[in-house]
Structure 1
Amino acid sequence: MPIPFTADDAARLMETLESVVADGATPGGVIAFGTADGTPEYLSAGVVAPECGTVAPTRHTVYDIASLTKVVATWPLVGRAIHDGLLDLDGPIRDFLPAMNGELPSAEATVRQLLAHTSGLRASTRLDHYRGAELPLHELMCREPLDDAPGTHRYINRGYILLGLALAHIHDQPLDELAAAVWDELGMSEVMYGPIGRSGRVAPTEQRIPGAPRIWGAAHDDNAALLGGVAGHAGVFATPRDLARYARHLLTAHADATDADLGEWMRAGLVPQAAIEPGLDRGLSWILAAGGRVAYHHGFTGTSLYLALDSGRYLVICTNAVYHGNARTRIAPLRALALKTISAT
């Protein structure tokens, strides 16, 4: 039986959300929380952005979710491809990409290693360095030398870019179309790859050049932008409502022992693959905390998704904190409280 959040939980979350907004950490934000079998609750503070006037963020405000793309798009697609026999979790990524020639040290990384950030691939990912190259992107990336020995944990985006390219290749279909089909099945009508039109419903992110317009409706991540906004590591936009819906689906699937697709993959994702630091492990994509009872992931722009598997609870944070700079630093108090709250039993 899912354990609901208490009124005190909601009050503390609201107080902290209002505090980070008042401190200038983010123009505003929305928290969605609830249980697998309940109706979501929402907390909101601040404004979407000064460009949008006094418009307050709501459950329908669209946020660039940045690296949550990894668990909202790429991770479920990889799970489905493995279930359908199109990918092998322990097969090298070269087997699922167009044919390549020459020495390809990064091509030997397995799907498991790419998901778990243990591939040893080069950490710095600058796709702009490939401008004007004759070889295709996947081959250029696979020709790069390793930074670390395979098995070493280091969070990088490169592996998820390769996974996105592999998914498109094995299905002979663009990544955004593959993801949209999954989201449609789950009833997630407010999640999409960008670019999307500017409006008061869409939260702007960073101003890169003084005096220039902010990034608004386009991927904040430079590498995703170079890929047209569609990548395995970033580029997805979503609302708090749809992220809450996704969380409920994952919790329900995890609890269903007969679910041989999403449920089986959810349970596989919770098996520790590498230690991050004391108390935190890396699963397949997800960060595992509280002895494996909690799975979560962050997005660079100021988003987070938390799942408490035993208690059947979820919590979503949607902000555009990168509007004011490093979102990781600025909204740290809110993320810390979210993890503490979701981990309580």
Structure 2
Amino acid sequence: MKYNKTELAIQKLVNDGVVPGVNYAFIDEDGTQRHLIGNKQLVPKEVPLDDGHLIYDMASLTKVVGTTMVILKLVEDGKLSLEDSISDYLPEWQYPEVTVRNLITHTSGIEGYIPHREQLDHDELIKALLGLKAGAGLNHEMHYADVNFIFLGLIAKQVTGKAIQPLIEEIVLKPLHMVNSSFHPDAKKCVPTTYDKEHGLLQGHVHDPKARVLGEDCGSAGLFSNMDDLLLFVESVLNPDDNPVLSSDTVRGFYTDQTKHDLGRSYGFERINCEGMPFIWQSGFTGTFIVIIPEKKRAMVFLSNRIHPVSPNEYYIERRKPLIETYLNENK
């Protein structure tokens, strides 16, 4: 298949200076197309993006590539249930009506503000998160929040005795042969993110502040990966019978709404029905996203470092939705 309109939209993102460059790929019935455009770095000097195997900070793609897969595997193995109260595993949590399913679908209703969060250490941050409350949105509203997946990581640790990031390496990365993915990458192989005079270029070190503090206990961010490995992951979701981590029935569960009131969330992913064509997708703050159209056996993987040289670059968010719509409407 050809994706001329989508490729032109990506070209315009680069030409307009919205992102330095993009490593992107399309999967369809004809195979996989991979493309590079633009630069991998703009400061302190401009460096072209000429290597399709470079590693990116996945940010929140960690949630679906890693933590979601681990939780579902623990459910399959009978070590956990989606209907379990999270208080069974995190006794400090004061709202037993919140379940594992609520966390994985972002329908927990967890709300609240943590003052001076950036000054807290590992234990202090976890204590503060466990001190948040579940509001009226429980089961009735979707509110995307990192805390849901931080809690999932802590629950997995309670069940297995291992921190979530080593579990992701063991349960997900190894079976899928994602050999380029890790939580401690070689900085020289990484695309940089932010740049400032005090710290210089952030390269090979996680951008997310909570992930830096929580380290291996962070289930919401922290993974580094590249196009080679993400294509392996996406193929495993598109082909349930060949998934080496989860059963075909569990993988097909990604394709359907997993909330109690049809709030548009699957396991980890957002699920949207676009003119009768359901798709699932997830993005990462650093400029990454995955779109999967199960019925069509199609997918798009987009890797950029949109927060280079500075964050947050909100203009990228405005341009992302039209780009995805262009992709969805091409080759219907």
Regarding TM over 0.5, the answer is: yes
Distance 1:318 1:125, change over 3 A: farther
**Is the 8 Å Cα contact of residues 32 and 241 (structure 1) preserved in structure 2?**
no
Match of 1:96 among 89, 93, 109: 89
Distance 1:34 1:260, change over 3 A: closer
Q: How many residues align?
A: 323
Q: Give 1:283's aligned residue.
A: 266
Residue by residue over 1:98-145, the C-alpha shift from the partner in whole angstroms, topping out at 9 and shown as x without a partner, is xx35xx334542010011111011255678368369x77655433322
**Is the 8 Å Cα contact of residues 165 and 219 (structure 2) preserved in structure 1?**
no
Matched residue of 1:88: which SS?
coil
Distance 1:315 1:304 in 2: 8
Distance 2:243 2:284 in 1: 31
Distance 1:163 1:210 in 2: 36
Q: Give 1:326's aligned residue.
A: 312
Distance 1:162 1:59, change over 3 A: same
Matched residue of 2:24: which SS?
strand
Matched residue type, 2:39: V
Q: CA deviation at 1:327?
A: 4.6
Q: Give 2:137's aligned residue.
A: 149
Distance 2:115 2:221 in 1: 14
Q: Give 1:185's aligned residue.
A: 175
Match of 2:250 among 248, 251, 265: 265
Q: Give 1:3's aligned residue.
A: none
Q: Give 1:47's aligned residue.
A: 39
The CA RMSD over aligned residues, in Å, is 2.8
Distance 1:47 1:271, change over 3 A: same
**Is the 8 Å Cα contact of residues 271 and 281 (structure 2) preserved in structure 1?**
yes
Matched residue type, 2:26: F
Gaps of 5+ in 2: none
Q: Give 2:206's aligned residue.
A: 219
Match of 2:322 among 332, 336, 339: 336
Q: Give 1:27's aligned residue.
A: 20
Distance 1:158 1:260, change over 3 A: closer
Distance 1:308 1:183, change over 3 A: same
Distance 2:239 2:49 in 1: 31
Distance 1:248 1:305 in 2: 12
**Is the 8 Å Cα contact of residues 127 and 226 (structure 1) preserved in structure 2?**
no
Q: CA deviation at 1:53?
A: 4.3
Distance 1:24 1:340, change over 3 A: closer
Distance 1:113 1:269 in 2: 15
Gaps of 5+ in 1: 1-5
| Worse overlay, 235-244 or 319-328 | 319-328
2:151 is aligned with 1:159:
no
Matched residue of 2:74: which SS?
helix
| Worse overlay, 313-322 or 135-144 | 135-144
Distance 1:112 1:52, change over 3 A: farther
Q: Give 2:194's aligned residue.
A: 206
Q: Give 2:51's aligned residue.
A: 58
Q: Identity of paired residues, percent?
A: 23
